[in-house]
Amino acid sequence: MPQPHSPALLLVTGATGKVGRAFIERLLQGPERERFRVRALCHKRTLPPQEGLVCVHGSIQDRADVQRSLDGVTHVLHLATSKETPDDVMDVAVKGMFWLLEGCRASPTFRQFVLVGGDAAVGHFHYAHPAPVVESQPHTAYPGCYALSKVLEEVMLQQYQIQYGLNGCCLRAPWIMEKDDFRFTLSFGEDVFGGPRWRDLVSESEARDHVRTGAVPVMLDPEDRPVQRNFVHVQDLVDAILLALDAPRARHQLMNVCMDEPIDYGVLGEYLARTRGVPLVPIRTPYRSTWLDNTKAKFLLGWRPKFDMVRLVESAWAHERAADDPRVVWYPG
């Protein structure tokens, strides 16, 4: 166990991704830098050097790399994930997490494991939810390997907490936004971020027209009602992670971390039409409304999200990317 005056050593997996970069920047520029040093496990990319940060390179599915990364570590923030990529997903989500958990339970310095999970574990917008989704709802993965991996991550952590008393918690997040992400979720162009790919739901000529006019889609469910969909801004998620670190009330807890209300595509369309004068394109989809309940995270952590629909829109539309920060699609879907 480190001495009280010794900074804790926090291992961050998936450190070069959206959440990892935002978290490390905030932690090392804020008061928490007195409490923590950061070791970033990097795979294909790396991070610029800064005080308090050490990058180690390796593969999360390699036991020796994981053991080397865990040496002397007190805390783990597990962000590494694989999207809808069947060739990789089980190596990262199951094998990689297994080596992490095994290493943590045997480590004399380990204190806490924080997992950032995903609402794909409860079906996202693929299933009808008659009531707000709380943490006690059973897992309901939608078809595909990504959602299954989110279920397996949560279950593995839960079982290690039961089997070995491992001090862990899971922050379950919906779709995570930063910079101009939200604006590009509504694009009819090839530059669309995530799904649905709106241009695939209209004709090619219609897609071209919608790009030209700046039109935005209004997602409807099978009964032509606007879909409600959950989001969280990366800065709100980082706030929750920082609050969870060493929080006694976070021990063995699963918490939804999301905006207070989902985005209603009908209300969103009305707001964008009023403030930007954009045309609206209603599109019927097979997707359903879902409302993640974030009460538990508020109660246990004292966490409060700062982003609502208006702030999410305004920040995305106001963001101007630097020349060295192009939009890059790192994964499909």
Contact between 173 and 118 (Cβ < 8 Å): yes
For residue 199, is it within any domain? no
Task: Look at residues 7, 12, 13, 26 and name the one whose alpha carbon lies nearest to residue 234.
Answer: 26
Q: For residue 1, what pLDDT is reported?
A: 43
For 72-123, how does the pLDDT look when each residue is reduced to its tens digit (9 = 90+)?
Answer: 999 999 999 988 899 999 999 999 999 999 999 999 999 999 999 999 999 9
State how far the alpha carbon of 116 is from the alpha carbons of 38, 55, 99, 169, 218, in Å: 17, 20, 17, 9, 29
For residue 264, is it within any domain? no
For residue 21, is it within any domain? yes
- The alpha-helical segments, DSSP class H, found in the chain are 18-29, 63-70, 89-90, 97-106, 145-164, 181-184, 204-213, 234-244, 265-276, 295-301, 309-318
Mean pLDDT of the chain: 95
For residue 154, is it within any domain? yes
Beta-carbon contacts of residue 95 (< 8 Å; ≥ 6 apart): 61
Of the CA atoms within 13 Å of residue 140, those in its CB half-sphere come to 15
For residue 324, is it within any domain? no
Contact between 123 and 142 (Cβ < 8 Å): yes
What's the rounded mean pLDDT across residues 158-165?
Answer: 99
Q: For residue 316, what pLDDT is reported?
A: 98
What's the rounded mean pLDDT across residues 32-46?
Answer: 94
Q: For residue 323, what pLDDT is reported?
A: 77
For residue 202, is it within any domain? no
Category of 326 on φ-ψ map: left (φ > 0), alpha (ψ -120 to 50) or beta:
beta
Task: Look at residues 58, 55, 54, 23 and name the one whose alpha carbon lies nearest to residue 44.
Answer: 58
Split into its structural domains, the chain has a count of 1
DSSP state of 225: P
- 4 has pLDDT over 60: no
In the structure, what pLDDT confidence band is assigned to residue 330 with cuts at 50, 70 and 90? low
In terms of pLDDT, which residue wins out, 182 or 330?
A: 182
User: What are the phi and psi torsion angles at 273 (to 5°)?
Assistant: -65, -40
For residue 22, is it within any domain? yes
For residue 85, is it within any domain? yes
Write down how long the chain is.
333
- 2 has pLDDT over 50: no
What's the rounded mean pLDDT across residues 16-41?
Answer: 96
The CA distance from 116 to 224, in Å, is 33
The reported pTM is: 0.95
The CA distance from 226 to 286, in Å, is 12
For 220-268, how does the pLDDT look when each residue is reduced to its tens digit (9 = 90+)?
Answer: 999 999 999 999 999 999 999 999 999 999 999 999 999 999 999 999 9
- 190 has pLDDT over 50: yes
In the structure, what pLDDT confidence band is assigned to residue 331 with cuts at 50, 70 and 90? low
Q: Please give the share of the chain, as a percent, with pLDDT higher than 70.
A: 97
Q: For residue 236, what pLDDT is reported?
A: 99
Q: Please give the share of the chain, as a percent, with pLDDT higher than 90.
A: 91
Q: For residue 3, what pLDDT is reported?
A: 47
For 289-324, how does the pLDDT look when each residue is reduced to its tens digit (9 = 90+)?
Answer: 999 999 999 999 999 999 999 999 999 999 988 877
Residue 91 domain boundaries? 8-119+130-176+231-258+291-306
Tokens standing for residue 123: 């079906």
CATH number at residue 20: 3.40.50.720
